[in-house]
Structure 1
């Protein structure tokens, strides 16, 4: 498998694909193209999330302090469990490929 292969030509919705899933870790590929978290919705996860932007760009907004982090290709971020956040922007003219690792 290759993270950069099998990219749909059209992405009307984000694509979430589990690569590995065990009782203690889940690794997921996410494909976005201009997608954001709906206004007023916040991710509030029971597990920690380490996320890497493989291709494209994105911004993640944190609810507590309204801090927004801009991620470009190769940038990664660790989000502690229950730190409420949302995707506020992804590149609209090309896909953003994420690799997300969820862990306890």
Structure 2
């Protein structure tokens, strides 16, 4: 057994991504941020859908098409459709933001 909050990585140069489980079509990751944001001009544009929940800390995600900013705190979750361009605008600088992300593809027709 493992715990999502222990151990948390210490000094982070960038966001920390840790695979936890998965199959060929689905993967689960723990992401830890601390004052991180996506680089200027960078947008995620993923081939799969992403369900994401903030477990600890806080964050702001920015979406393109349509333009939208979403503030997230503990327990807040959403599903990002495949190819919906998004970026991390802000995460709490004084404590870790711990995310759980589940990436999944559409079922074949």
Report the TM-score, using the length of structure 1 for normalisation: 0.97
Deviation at residue 8 of structure 1 after TM alignment:
2.1
Deviation at residue 64 of structure 1 after TM alignment:
1.4
Equivalent-residue separation in structure 1 for 2:76 and 2:7 (angstroms): 22
1:47-86 correspondence to structure 2 within 5 Å:
47-86=48-87
Match of residue 41 from structure 2: 40
Match of residue 12 from structure 1: 13
Cα RMSD (Å): 0.7
Structure 1 alignment gaps of length 5 or more: none
Aligned residue pairs, count: 104
SS of 2:9's partner is coil
Runs of 4 or more above 3 Å deviation: none
